[in-house]
Amino acid sequence: MLLKSKKEEIVKDLEKAIKESKSLAFVNFHGLKVADETRLRRELRKEGVCYRVSRKTLLSRALKGKAEGEIPELSGEVAIAYSKDEIASPREIYNFQKANKGVVLGILGGIFEGKFVGKEMMMELATIPSREVLLSKIAFLLKSPMQRLAIAVNEVAKKKV
């Protein structure tokens, strides 16, 4: 059993983490093996995402007044993944879940742009490609018309000669 002072300390740490993060994902990790959780923490750390397990009552205390709307239902064993990047936390949880098919891990909702959002919105954020991938797609889209124009001009030049 935790002492009241320890609970207050945990709530303060959670409040600090929530305040400093730009996005936060609530994760249900029920049935996750210790080895898988260790691997998850290691991969999240590489991407600048923090992962923290907490009691739901202490988490709900820390969340009061931190975002607009209503807290999504937090069922099962709950952890939070948070980062200073807007979409890194849901994306990395989703990527880990996708890469490890046998792992039981689910996004329950989260906080995005100062509002509580549900599972659907967090899954949409999770499937947005990274910045580098989006930039390469834009470069390809810009290159494609120029390439077609060069081919067309080359064909016209061949016919005239």
Q: Tokens in use for 60?
A: 């709900």
Among residues 129, 133, 16, 128, which one has the least CA distance to residue 82? 16
The partner residues of 26 in beta bridges, in order of sequence, read 80, 109
Q: CA 133 to CA 139: how far, in whole Å?
A: 10
Among residues 88, 97, 120, 74, which one has the least CA distance to residue 21? 88
Per-residue pLDDT tens for 95-144? 898 888 877 888 888 888 888 888 888 888 888 887 888 899 898 888 88
Edge-to-edge strand list for the sheet holding 78-83: 50-53, 78-83, 23-28, 106-112, 115-118
Per-residue pLDDT tens for 51-92? 999 898 888 888 888 788 888 888 888 999 999 888 888 999
Residue given tokens 């792992």 in the structure block: 103
pLDDT band for position 50 (50/70/90)?
Answer: very high
CB 103 within 8 Å of CB 56: no
The CATH class that applies to domain 4-128 reads: alpha beta
- Residue 67 pLDDT: 81
